Amino acid sequence: MKKIQDTVISLKKINKSFPLEMGGVQQVLFDINFDIKAGEFVAVMGPSGSGKSTCMNIIGALDTPTSGTYELYGRDVTGLTPDELAMARNESIGFVFQQFNLLPKRSVLDNVMLPLMYRGLPMGDRIARAREMLRRVGLEKFESYLPTQLSGGMKQRVAIARALAGEPKLILADEPTGALDSKMGNEILQFFKQLNQDMGITIVMITHEFDIAKYANRLIHIRDGKINYDGKMPRDDRGL
Ligand SMILES: Nc1ncnc2c1ncn2[C@@H]1O[C@H](COP(=O)(O)OP(=O)(O)OP(=O)(O)O)[C@@H](O)[C@H]1O
Ligand SMILES: [Mg+2]
């Protein structure tokens, strides 16, 4: 029997509007539909303001759609309370952001241990796991440094170690290389590629750079809140 691949993310007719200060609403996403299966590596591209982060925030259960259904691992999350959303996030998703979002006054090790706080693991296990994650990103010698003492690429590696500490099946990255030079950006992407290929972690990544997007196998291109391309990674970005 053919194995049916697990659906990780399923968006059906997702609309999102924000209230405007002077009254009325601004609609940002229009009937967005797509599924992402376990083990996929998807890049999301599109002009500034097209709705990429808005869509990612919904996928990451950081925000809810105005209408439509969103299923994460087969579970409808649109109706969950904020606490239930936080649980769903903490259980299965690792986040990586453009600005790293590290706690500046806490050590590298403390930052990586953060997602383990809610897991009820004994302290010794949390430390051991955080150290293992730092080893994976090549920063085991920097555990007692503060984030401010590291380069941009190193900070992003700490953020990735933090994202991995909770052993997520899904990584969501919003412009993970946006604050890095192209050499560091490529290093981070090599690492993502490895996580995807060797550990089967599903990755959804927003980027403005086609050279970065090309590490993914599938491209979703958004324009004015609508999908205008969804398919195999094209050879170049002409025609998008
Ligand atoms: N919390 C919010 N409240 C009101 N409007 C918002 C909010 N978040 C996003 N928007 C609006 O939604 C639109 C899309 O924003 P979004 O951040 O999703 O774009 P983006 O594609 O991620 O752009 P960029 O590439 O610049 O990051 C913008 O017009 C923005 O002003
Ligand atoms: Mg954005």
**pLDDT mean over 34-53:** 97
> Could you give the number of structural domains in the chain?
1
* Higher-scoring residue by pLDDT: 62, 26: 26
pLDDT average, residue stretch 142-164: 94
Would you say the CB of residue 221 lies under 6 angstroms from ligand 1?
no
For residue 223, being part of any structural domain is answered with yes
Q: Are strands 25-37 and 7-19 parallel, antiparallel or unpaired?
A: antiparallel
Pocket perturbation via mutation, ligand 1, pick of 53, 66, 98, 228 by most ligand atoms within 8 A of CB: 53
* Cα-to-centroid distance, 35 and ligand 2 (Å): 20
The residue nearest atom 2 of ligand 1, judged by CA position, is 18
Compute, in angstroms, the gap from residue 207 CA to the centroid of ligand 1: 15
Average pLDDT over residues 160-175: 92
Query: Which tokens belong to 115?
Result: 């997602």
φ, ψ at 219 (rounded to 5°): -120, 130
Please state, rounded to an integer, the average pLDDT across all residues of the chain: 92
Domain that residue 84 falls in: 7-232
User: What mean pLDDT do residues 149-173 have?
Assistant: 92
Is the residue at 240 inside a domain? no
Q: Domain holding 201: CATH number?
A: 3.40.50.300
| Predicted TM-score of the model (pTM) | 0.92
Of the two residues 101 and 79, the one the predictor is more confident about is 101
> Is residue 209 a part of any domain in this protein?
yes
DSSP 116: G
Does residue 85 form part of some domain? yes
Answer whether residue 2 is part of any domain.
Answer: no
pLDDT tens digits, 15-35: 999 999 999 999 999 999 999
Q: Answer whether residue 99 is part of any domain.
A: yes
Strand order across the 218-223 sheet: 93-97, 170-174, 202-206, 41-45, 218-223, 226-232
pLDDT at 76 over 50: yes
Within a domain: 16: yes
Query: What pLDDT is attached to residue 5?
Result: 66
Name the more confident of 240 and 107. 107
User: Is there a domain that residue 20 lies in?
Assistant: yes
Strand partners, 97: 174
